[in-house]
Amino acid sequence: MAEMKETLPRTEVLHRGRIAVLDDEVPEMLKDLCDQGLAVSHLRSTDDPQFQALADGAYDLLLLDYGGIGPRFGHDEGLDVLRFLKRLNPGLRILAFTARTFDASKADFFRLCDGVVKKDAGIRETLEQIEVHLSEVLTPSYQLAALTNALGLSDEQQAEMEKVLSAVVVGKRDRSAAVQTAKRFAKGGSEKVLEALVGKAIELAIAHLTTAA
């Protein structure tokens, strides 16, 4: 599965990808993205009930504003939310979503984000960036790497995890075997994230094999 890095067809990427926008204002291009067939959820703040779904692995990509979205996390808001989500869910790809140029004190926010989407960018440019990131995230190799990161696996443990996942993909073992193996290796963290990462790795590997056939 670690070798399965090929991207899915564009229509499959757009159909499978789940995107969240965390912004205290309604983005102008939100409707345009939905009109393109993307599944996009808008969250105004970390108090939104869907914020927990972000931490639990339900989304693949997050467009994250810096200010006004999470004061309960700390003074730096966007940066603190970013660190929180990356710690809980290493599989989530996070893009800075801003219309402003911040001073040097906000440099860590942009450095730790996986990319930048400008709020005033046109729908074509925004869609292109989203597609690029989703294409990378929606591969078995990416999900396996995220799972390895979440579990802190050794090379030997990663090999065992991959072996179990591969057996599930070809129908030789039940999905629960992969989940139980992940939980056995876990040193803490969210079980929901582990289940989400395992599920995505399996589903994407099956889609990969089906597309290649």
Residue 3 lies in a domain: no
Residue 103 has pLDDT above 70, yes or no: no
Residue 105 has pLDDT above 80, yes or no: no
pLDDT of residue 73: 79
Confidence of residue 209 (pLDDT cuts 50, 70, 90): confident
Last residue of a domain, one of 122, 137, 152: 137
Confidence of residue 98 (pLDDT cuts 50, 70, 90): confident
Last residue of a domain, one of 77, 107, 137: 137
How would DSSP label each residue in 159-182?
HHHHHHHHHHHTTSS-HHHHHHHH
Residue 148 lies in a domain: yes
Residue 40 lies in a domain: yes
> 66 is in which domain, residue-wise?
10-137
Say if residue 63 is in the same domain as residue 107: yes
Average pLDDT over residues 186-195: 89
- Whole-number Cα distances in Å, 3 to 6, 7, 139, 141, 163: 8, 12, 10, 6, 13
pLDDT of residue 188: 80
Say if residue 103 is in the same domain as residue 182: no
Q: Which distant-in-sequence residues (6+ apart) come within 8 Å of 137 by Cβ?
A: 17, 60, 61, 91, 93, 143
Residue 100 lies in a domain: yes
Last residue of a domain, one of 120, 137, 154: 137
Beta-carbon-side half-sphere exposure of residue 95 (alpha carbons within 13 Å): 25
